[in-house]
Amino acid sequence: MPEDVITIGELAARSRLSLKALRLYDERGLLPPALVDPGSGVRRYGPAQVERARRIALLRAAGLPLARIAAVLDAGAARGERALLEYWREREAEHAARREAVGYAREVLAGGSAAVFEVAEREVPERLVLFVRRHVDAAALPGFLAEAGELLLGRLREVGACLSAPLFAVFHGLVGEDCAALVEVCAPTPDAVGPHGPFGVRVEPAHREAYTGLARRPAAAMAAVHDAVGAWVAARGYRRGGPNREVYHPRWATAGPDEHVMDVAVPLA
C-alpha cells in the first residue's frame, strides 16, 4: 500500500470534515476513496482526495449545496470559478428579493396598501389554450416553468399551430417553500389543437383582469407581488374570477434585469 494513503479518520482530521460527512460524500459520488479494502471495507484516501476534501469544506462553508459543489469541482479551474460566481450572483439576487419582500411585509403590517406596485386593468379575449399541469413547490417551480414552456412550444410546432399570445401560468394554490400546489402552464393558440399525452386543451372565457407589469424577479419577491395585486382587487370590492396567474412576455429569457418581461394578474368576476 502506498505510504501517502491515509484512513478516513486521518482524512477527517486533515480536512476538519466529520466522518459522517465524508461517508455521505462518498455515497453521493462527490468524494470516493482512492482504495477500498475488499475484505474489511476500510476506505483509504490519497493526496488527490485530501485536496478535494479541503475544497469541498471551503465550498460548503460558502453555502453551496452538494450538487453545485460537484459541478464546480468537476468543471476545471476557470469554469469552476465562473460557476461559483454564478451561484453567488443567484444568492445575492435572492437576498435582494427577500429584502423587497420584507419591505412590502413591513408596509402591510404598518397598515399600508398595495400602492408600492402599480396595478391596472385590461380585457382578455376568449381563447383556446393548450396546457400542461403539475403539483410543484417553490424549489421545483422554475424547472417546471422552463420544461413546460419547451413542451408546449414543441407541441405547437409539431401540429403546425402558432402562439397567439404570451405563455402564462395559472397558480391554483400557494406555491411556497413549505407547500406545493397545482400549476398550469398555458399556450394560447388560434388553431385547432386536441389533447394528447400530457397536454390538455380548454377554452378560457373572455374576462377582465387586474395586473401589474414587472421585470424578472426571484421567487422570494413574487409572493409580495401576488399578494399586492390580490389586495388591490379586494380593496376595490371586486370579486375574483379565477386564480392568480403570471404572464411571460417573449423576451423573458433574454431581457435585462430592468426590462418589462412579465405580469402578475388576477381575473375579475
* pLDDT per residue as tens digits for the range 197-249: 999 999 999 999 999 988 766 555 777 888 889 888 988 999 999 999 999 98
Residue 125 and residue 67 share a domain = no
pLDDT in tens, 31-46: 888 888 888 878 888 8
Does pLDDT of 97 surpass 80? no
Q: What is the pLDDT of residue 257?
A: 64
- The answer to whether position 105 is within a domain reads no
CATH label of the domain that carries residue 47: 1.10.1660.10
SS (H, E, C) the chain: CCCCCEEHHHHHHHHCCCHHHHHHHHHCCCCCCCEECCCCCCEEECHHHHHHHHHHHHHHHCCCCHHHHHHHHHCCHHHHHHHHHHHHHHHHHHHHHHHHHHHHHHHHHCCCCCCCCCCEEEEECCEEEEEEEEEECCCCHHHHHHHHHHHHHHHHHHCCCCCCCCEEEEECCCCCCCCCEEEEEEEEECCCCCCECCEEEEEECCEEEEEEEECCCCHHHHHHHHHHHHHHHHHCCCCECCCCEEEECCCCCCCCCCCCCEEEEEEEC
Domain end, chosen from 74, 106, 133, is at 74
Q: Are residues 64 and 169 in the same domain?
A: no
Whole-number pLDDT of residue 104: 64
pLDDT at 171 over 60: yes
pLDDT band at 159 (very low <50, low <70, confident <90, very high): very high
| Residue 34: domain span | 6-74
Asked whether residue 69 falls in the same domain as residue 128, the answer is no
One domain for residues 183 and 243: yes
Q: In the chain, how many domains are there?
A: 2
Mean pLDDT, the chain, whole residue set: 86
Whether 93 is covered by a domain: the verdict is no
62 with 139, same domain: the answer is no
The domain that holds 193 is classified in CATH as: 3.20.80.10
pLDDT given at position 14:
83
Does residue 100 surpass a pLDDT of 70? no
Is 170 or 106 the better-scoring residue by pLDDT?
A: 170
Mean pLDDT within 41-61: 87
Q: Kindly state whether residue 180 falls inside one of the protein's structural domains.
A: yes
Q: 118 falls in which pLDDT band (50, 70, 90)?
A: confident
Do 68 and 139 share a domain, yes or no? Answer: no
For the ranges 8-12, 97-101, 265-269, the lowest mean pLDDT is seen at: 97-101
In a domain, 96, yes or no: no
Q: Does 69 share its domain with 138? A: no
User: Does any domain span residue 136?
Assistant: yes
Q: Could you tell me if 171 and 260 lie in one domain?
A: yes
